Amino acid sequence: MSDATPALRLDGIVKTFPGVRALDGVSFSVLPGEVHALMGENGAGKSTLMKVLGGIYQPDEGQITVSEVPVVMRSPLEAKAKGIVFIHQELSLATELSVAENIYLGELPRKSFGRVDWATLNARTNEILSRLKVGFGPGDRVGDLSIANQQMVEIARALTVDAKAVIFDEPTASLTDAEKVVLFDVIADLKKDGVGIIYISHRMEEIFRITDRISVLRDGQYRGTLETAKTNEEEITQLMIGRKLDLSRSEATHALGDVALEVRGLTVKGLYEDVSFEVRKGEVLGFYGLVGAGRTEIAETLFGLREPSAGTIHLNGEEVRIHSPADAIARGISLVPEDRKGQGLVLGMNCRDNMTLPQVDDLTAGPFVADGAEIAIFDQYRDRLDIRTPGWKQQVGNLSGGNQQKIVIGKWLSMHPDVLIVDEPTRGIDVGSKSEIHNLIRALAAQGYAVIVISSEMPEVLRVSDRIVAMYSGRIMRTFTAETVTEDNLIQAISGIAASAETAA
Amino acid sequence: MAPGTLSGLLQKGAIWGFIVLELIFFSVAGEFLSLSDKAFMDLDNMLLLLKQSAPIGIIAMGMTIVMINGNIDLSVGATFALAAIVLLDSMTWPIFAGLGDGVIPVAMALALLTGIVLGAINGFIVWKTGVDAFIVTLGAMLGYRGLVFMYNGEQPTSHLNWTLVDLAEAQPLGLHVATWALLIVTVLAWLVMTRTVHGRNAYAIGDNREAAVNAGIRVGPHMMLNFMGIGFLAALSAVVFYSESGSVNPNDGELYELWVITAVVLGGTKLTGGAGSVISTLGGVIAIQLLRKGLGHIGADTETVNLVIGLILIAVLFLDRQLNIKGKEALKA
């Protein structure tokens, strides 16, 4: 393999923006039939590099070579024509159109007078779909497909050209475990066909599962390439963040307080059923399960976004009914939502205004908002959570994912909640900030908050939780304590295998 | 300097720069083209310009808030007409016959109440049905205009109350009453949007409605309040204008919604919500009135004026877009 001509080679790519050297001499090559991981923290230059490869940016210096042919790409269309194809994290499909129309969008086969040649279109589409072994046809409406299948349509689109290199950008972000397996099979097939693959992901388990080599970027510079088989998580991380990462759970055990939240027989028809659990003050209760197991929906019910069809919620021993987020907040329940940008933050607003949004009602002097009180709150939580921003006037949209998440957490802490629910605390956050958020969650528990953490990443739940609730298809399968949990029985529980196993609490 | 400050400044100042340009252009061009020997930037002419800006301007303040909030109101022209009818006609109602000039505040209150109620209907439907405000107020625009015609058919509704006319033509401290109304409304709207919780929430809801809900903001009532506000302002605009003119045609106020939206957008408020400024809207209002007046001054007819305003609107939005793209690219680095 190592003697083959690279499918894609980068030589000394430099790209500067006013004031920043976003890419500073990046060189590496991807061999045909290789899955090559590209890793780096947010801001390391991955996105810029991808835009250079995609023809969106032109490099200031350096050369891109596809199968030993130097190429210059001035537009995404040109990049595709040269054999470089992208599978984006965010799907760009016309959901009202059919699968076939999407795959050949812009290149529909035509007959006379510009009429679409449906027969050819469907035949070609069928050919590609059979290669991918998917369960949908050319005529299906894309909007009716699952996210995973929509991604398959994107991949099918890539296969319409003679792709030399296919770039996957965080492809598993919204996939379930079963869907991931299908995706990895497709990647394996592409590999067999001799396509070079660049795989961008923050998820270590995937990196180790499917990649052959790993190239690391930091601060716009190329930091080296590792053989996946001969390296480990620690080495990669060190290369990415330039220092050692403390993965240990560094904390003295603290005593648990009274039960803060008790849920009995909670049900939302069609989403989850008969869910019962309790969280104590000072405890982190993890919810682990596949996407669609009902975890987020439970959080939404507790936060007043869904009406339960049965069951009770007790807060500090008192039964409560929660009909809206305003109710939940007033009773001391806060939710750090899964989709930070879509549900948690007002991106066009500054840091301070975002942080005080739920309580600005109370921060008034006469009819007007009291600036000073707001800034005081912002300063307090910026220091406490170590939020790195040039100042409170900074627009939240300009912060890194980790700092954005801290703004959301700070927003709720400043409301002094009893129960803090954190849904996917580190989604889209880079490795360095990840462990910071984990430590923060542990610290909050130590300070006496009752914390619920929902996560799809096993290492994360294992690391932050005192107890773990395993969910499968809308039901709690089992509740583990730190002593009873192992990776194996956790996986069994969330795949429904342990359905018959007795409940150990 | 924070990134984007320069382009931010350019955008905020752009409308005022544009106004200065217009003033210079029409003053110079007026020297050669104008049929009258009066200078364009004559004090009386400028005071008149402010007064003439008032009807659109007052409504535009409400529209700015509604649009920052992520909604739109197309029914303001019809609301304007209906409030005007209530104002003028109620002064002739037999039940108020004994009041003498005391009928004036009563008629004004009734007109303003009409605006608030019509706005509340819009807001309530948007809140409870979740139908897009564009559609709801498009329906309301047709419906309210229907009410206007039902009232008096094709006939104008007229009533001149000379006390009221005198009141409307007064010029306390040199400015017309209409101008005062515009300025006071502008200051109040500015205070609401920049200093109060309501304003803060309006921006938040317009920028990211889901995040606003998750922060415990009661979005429905908030939006309804804004619709009541713009209804009130449309009625206030009618009160200011018809106190003086004393006669409403059933077609009056048609296309007002579009002139108002043009002024708001020219001032830089985003159609998608979440960003905008009351002060810039005032700039937009004045810029449009200047164009109309200036083009008239150099001898252009109404059709030409509309064509030019349309072209300038598109040109301004294109420029704004270019500035935005540049700003974003600098940020991404």
pLDDT for B275-321, tens place per residue?
999 999 999 999 999 998 888 888 888 888 889 888 988 887 787 77
User: Looking at A91-95, B118-122, B242-246, which range is the least confident one?
Assistant: A91-95
Domain positions in chain B are 15-21+39-321
Mean pLDDT of A103-121: 87
Token pair in block for residue A359: 């309580």
φ, ψ dihedrals at B36, nearest 5°: -95, 160
Confidence of residue B332 (pLDDT cuts 50, 70, 90): very low
Query: Which pLDDT does position B41 carry in this prediction?
Result: 78
Summarize pLDDT for A284-327 with one digit per residue, the tens.
999 998 777 889 999 999 999 999 999 999 999 999 999 999 99
Distance CA A234, CA A422 (A): 26
| Percentage with pLDDT > 70 across chain A | 95
If you search the block for the tokens 């190239």, which residue do you land on?
A215
Is A328 part of the contact surface with chain B (CB cutoff 8 Å)? Answer: yes
Domains and CATH numbers, chain A: 8-241 (3.40.50.300), 259-342+418-500 (3.40.50.300)
Query: Which pLDDT does position B72 carry in this prediction?
Result: 96
Contacts of B332 (CB under 8 A, 6+ apart): A17
Contacts of B44 (CB under 8 A, 6+ apart): none
Contacts of B276 (CB under 8 A, 6+ apart): B64, B67, B68, B264, B267, B268, B269, B270
- ipTM for the predicted complex comes to 0.81
User: Looking at A144-148, B22-26, B30-34, B130-134, which range is the least confident one?
Assistant: B30-34
Distance of CA B307 to the CA centre of its chain: 20
DSSP per residue, B260-316: HHHHHHHTT--TTSS---HHHHHHHHHHHHHHHHHHHHTT--HHHHHHHHHHHHHHH
- The per-residue pLDDT of chain A, averaged, comes to 87
Query: Which pLDDT does position A163 carry in this prediction?
Result: 86
Consecutive H or E run containing A61: strand A61-66
Q: Which of A264, A282, A411 is nearest to A337 (CA)?
A: A411
Q: Which residues of A touch B216 (CB under 8 A)?
A: 324-326, 328-330, 358
Confidence of residue A476 (pLDDT cuts 50, 70, 90): very high
Q: What angle do CA B1, B6, B12 make, to 5 degrees?
A: 125
| Percentage with pLDDT > 70 across chain B | 92
Residue A487 pLDDT exceeds 90? no
> Cβ of A19 and B333 within 8 Å?
yes
User: Looking at A157-166, B71-80, B81-90, B108-117, which range is the least confident one?
Assistant: A157-166
Token pair in block for residue B91: 């002064």
Mean pLDDT of B24-32: 86
Picking from B214, B277, B328 by the largest number of A CB atoms within 10 A of its own CB, the best residue to mutate is: B214
Query: Which pLDDT does position A173 carry in this prediction?
Result: 74
Is A329 part of the contact surface with chain B (CB cutoff 8 Å)? Answer: yes
> Cβ of B196 and A335 within 8 Å?
no
Summarize pLDDT for B182-203 with one digit per residue, the tens.
999 999 999 999 999 999 999 9
Residue of chain B whose Cα is closest to the Cα of A366: B196
CB atoms inside a 10 Å sphere around CB A364: 14
Nearest residue, CB atoms, A398 vs list B191, B201, B331 = B331
Q: Who has greater pLDDT, A244 or A85? A: A85
Summarize pLDDT for A152-197 with one digit per residue, the tens.
898 888 888 888 899 998 888 777 777 888 889 889 988 998 899 9
Mean pLDDT of A261-270: 94
Consecutive H or E run containing A373: helix A371-385
User: How many CA atoms does the CB half-sphere of A329 hold within 13 Å?
Assistant: 22
- What is residue A481's three-state secondary structure? strand
User: Looking at A96-105, B105-114, B182-191, which range is the least confident one?
Assistant: A96-105
Residue A88 pLDDT exceeds 90? no
Query: Which pLDDT does position A504 carry in this prediction?
Result: 41
Confidence of residue A492 (pLDDT cuts 50, 70, 90): confident
Query: Which pLDDT does position A308 carry in this prediction?
Result: 94
Query: Which pLDDT does position A245 carry in this prediction?
Result: 55
Chain B residue set in contact with A, beta carbons under 8 Å? 2-3, 191, 195-197, 200-201, 203-204, 207-208, 210-218, 274-275, 329-333
| Burial A6-39, CB ≥16 within 10 A → b, else e | bbbbbbebbbbbeebbbbbebebbbbbbbbbbbb
Q: Which residues of A touch B200 (CB under 8 A)?
A: 353, 357, 360, 369
Q: Which of A360, A489, A344 is nearest to A425 (CA)?
A: A344
